[in-house]
Amino acid sequence: MASLNVLATLFLSYLLLTLFLSEAKHASSSSSSSPKSTKIGQGYRLISIQDDPNGAITGLLQVKERNNIYGPDIPLLRFYVKHETENRLRVHITDAKNKRWEVPYNLLPREQPPPLKQNIKRLKKKKQPLSVSEYSSSELVFSYTSDPFSFAVKRKSNGDTLFDSNSNNSDSFGPLVFKDQYIEISTKLPKDASLYGFGENTQPHGIKLYPNDPYTLYTTDVSAINLNTDLYGSHPVYMDLRNEGGKPYTHGVLLLNSNGMDVSYKGTSLTYKIIGGVLDFYFFAGPTPLNVVDQYTSFIGRPAPMPYWAFGFHQCRWGYHNLSVVEDVVENYKKAKIPLDVIWNDDDHMDGHKDFTLNPVSYPRPKLLNFLDRIHSIGMKYIVIIDPGIAVNSSYGVYQRGMANDVFVKYEGEPFLAQVWPGAVYFPDFLNPKTVSWWGDEIRRFHELVPVDGLWIDMNEASNFCSGKCTIPKGKVCPSGTGPGWICCLDCKNITKTRWDDPPYKINASGLQAPIGFKTIATSAVHYNGVLEYDAHSIYGFAQTIATHMALQGLQGKRPFILTRSTYVGSGKYAAHWTGDNQGTWENLRYSISTMLNFGIFGVPMVGSDICGFYPAPTEELCNRWIEVGAFYPFSRDHANYYSPRQELYQWESVAESARNSLGMRYKLLPYLYTLNYEAHISGAPIARPIFFSFPNYVQCYGLSTQFLLGSGLMISPVLEQGKTKVEALFPPGTWYSLFDLTQVIVSKDGNYVTLNAPLHEINVHLYQNTILPMQQGGMVSKDARMTPFRLIVTFPAGANEGEAKGNLFLDDDELPEMKLGNGYSTYIDFHASAKEGSVKVWSQVQEGEFALGKGWVIDTINVLGLIGNGATATMEIDGTVSNVKIDITEQSYLYGKGDGEKKIVMVGMKGLNIPVGKNFSMTWKMGSSV
């Protein structure tokens, strides 16, 4: 849906924000007796330590010298260190005497540190500092310095220091600071380390963190067009890639803290400045990027399995004023022969913008149900939006039941009043178990009203059109029904009377040091069990996502599909994400790639941006180029603003042609995308990946943000600039084959930039050597596409005398909540191929083949690329039955680079094979003399 910054970002929001900023900045300068760059205090000293039987270390830290910069120091800290797995190390530091806020253990399940106030042995003066290496065979080694206290984490295999909080006089950062509302800790970094992460943030410099760019983490409804600004999600995690002597090593660092924070990256150091909570670090050893994401998602939760149809194309618009418009959209996609799987409604279907309602005039229920019957019969799906704000309306059943169950966030003992699209609203408190039950019941009631296929939860940062303490005005209608819907019309007064609303340290909220309660729930508001919004703010959307997932799973017994705007560490376990309100500009098209790649690192692989931009109107050329990129987003959806002209892909014939080309290929790739979905679910592997994930040795691609991979070897190289019909694409070392024309070959011996032709309707997609890619024949709806015959594309290095290729395929009943083997409703196939001295073999190894056999899936075509010589008849064996297969030979041409010795290479093709997908097969042949 539209953010409150849809157009306000352009002409209103910052004007309103400015009214608060003068006061905020004055407060910042007056309450902070030290500038941000000054070292604060002398840190802590270690006064006692013990090693625990479980291999952990527990110690006490005492502040060395107290000061009142950003408030008084906490005098005594407890630190706890444990190797939780061979590849994961935890360092937890908190107040030794008083329990502090942490991300709730029921929301993000994990091991709890021991209770506070344990009897800890005194440290003997001559005792050498302990090292966890004495207690564990882990790859990560923990060490510390006693006075001032600092700690370091090293990699055992090469001695590399991954994290080092020690502060010397020459360092720009100081030692550990731990106050109630200000915590600071830093680490040294080698200057050649490449860092990725810290979001959600639109990064103008690409996927690599850029020194001196601001990285603020605090969930905020600020349009994604704002650069270097804290956006909808909070992900305090980074990946560090280093290349030492030609050998790459990667590790990950998570600071599990939901409070607002600034992260200052200087290139050779990284400093966290946090306004509450605890220090709870998790270090992940890697050493490859995929290893890091595997270890990270093993801890935070594996990405949710998505239903097959979710990988089809989605169409949405804020402004489908009635059902007939939606019906026309579906029909026009069909007429234009553009694939479409899911049609969405923003809040247009609602009665007065109220959740879980239908507008009886524009979306009459009998007609809507009839429409849903028609689209469901052909396999299409329907999704609608839900915002967290519940309208304050005594005749509204959802509100009545919410009040009766006491489910709302409180302020001074009463539900906190805010304004969103319906007008005055209360926000459900998703930390309250009663709220979770009530929310599930409302979703059940709505599903009985409208059998939707998924839910879209928006505005859940939480977004509020007002700030402060508000009351419903007397004597006027609010909202009036005229003018922009996001103008605050409640009677409100600013709240600055508590330290929660006006903390001593000002994070760079909204990129402008905005008050942290600006346009959201007041930070002194209270959740269940007395939890402050100050602490829980950035997990609001996360808690709502979990409650929504629980409701859908319990309701339908099917695999839920949820799209959420606000995310936190672990959100990918429950939902997909889109990158919010972007603009229809070339710059925003470029930014979409970096944001998508970051979310793969964050463990949210099902991600995409609004294709063609949310607002304002894109140009025809831009929309052509955007669908060519967006067709390869993991989550592919066109979405536009209420105030923008219509931009469905059929609105321009040229865009329709580009859509048929690019989405046509996407629908052929659906089995590959779905298999990547399975890999993500079992190992965290991102669906869309930076190039360095597959080529960590190739340092030239470490900052590459204009190309990306789907899986390990399918590379997308789009046009991202106006007026361009060529692309300068970087090809890592090896052989690459054009997916749209398998005869076109690029051999990049040491890694090269290659100029590719890219006419308006074409997108360059290349498949890497040593790959077996499963495809189907496509279709207008994924339900039909997935029943077409399979095709395997096998790639060897061009002209190599020998080679190996691998691929895999996962198939299941995608309605089942769980995605796994062994339930009788799934099949997994490993494909293999080898070539040596003219002998070629292609074969499969099937697990749980009965499901695929029951569906009747067959492999019709196999193409093998990059071979030398000409072919003869191939021998194929299935279940001991041998048959001969005719081979077609097509010569391939080098677009760039020649093969070894300028050898001619050919593609071997076999059609009409009719191989059952669920049975092992083996095919062999001998290539003839060199062509």
Catalytic positions = 458, 461, 581
Q: Which of 216, 222, 199, 228 is nearest to 464 (CA)?
A: 222
Instruction: Calculate Rg over the CA atoms of the chain.
Output: 29
User: Residue 789 corresponds to which amino acid?
Assistant: P
CA 788 to chain centre: 31
C-alpha pair distances (Å), 43 with each of 61, 168, 691:
9, 12, 41
SS3 assignment, position 352: coil
d(CA 202, CA 698): 25
Judge residue 723's burial from the number of C-beta atoms within 10 Å of its C-beta, 0-12 exposed, 13-18 middle, 19 or more buried.
exposed
d(CA 476, CA 192): 61
Asked if 387 and 458 touch (Cβ cutoff 8 Å), the reply is yes
Residues with Cβ within 8 Å of residue 39, at least 6 apart in sequence = 167, 173, 174, 175
The β-bridge partners of 840 are 835, 925
User: Residue 596 corresponds to which amino acid?
Assistant: M
C-alpha pair distances (Å), 59 with each of 44, 47, 73, 78:
12, 8, 18, 6
Buried b (16+ CB within 10 A) or exposed e, 856-882: ebbbbbbbbbbbbbbbeebebebeeee
d(CA 296, CA 283): 9
Q: Cα-Cα-Cα-Cα dihedral of 898, 900, 904, 909, to 10°?
A: -100
DSSP element (H, E) containing 793: strand 790-795
Residues with Cβ within 8 Å of residue 337, at least 6 apart in sequence = 660, 780
Residues with Cβ within 8 Å of residue 15, at least 6 apart in sequence = none
d(CA 172, CA 699): 28
Q: Which of 855, 860, 847 is nearest to 919 (CA)?
A: 847
d(CA 112, CA 927): 62
Asked if 196 and 292 touch (Cβ cutoff 8 Å), the reply is no
Q: What share of the chain is helix, strand, coil (3-state, %, to 5)?
A: 20, 30, 45
And the tokens for 683?
A: 């190992």
And the tokens for 657?
A: 């042609």
Sign of the dihedral defined by the CA atoms of residues 543, 545, 580, 487, in that order: negative
Q: Which of 331, 308, 316 is nearest to 382 (CA)?
A: 316
Asked if 714 and 690 touch (Cβ cutoff 8 Å), the reply is no
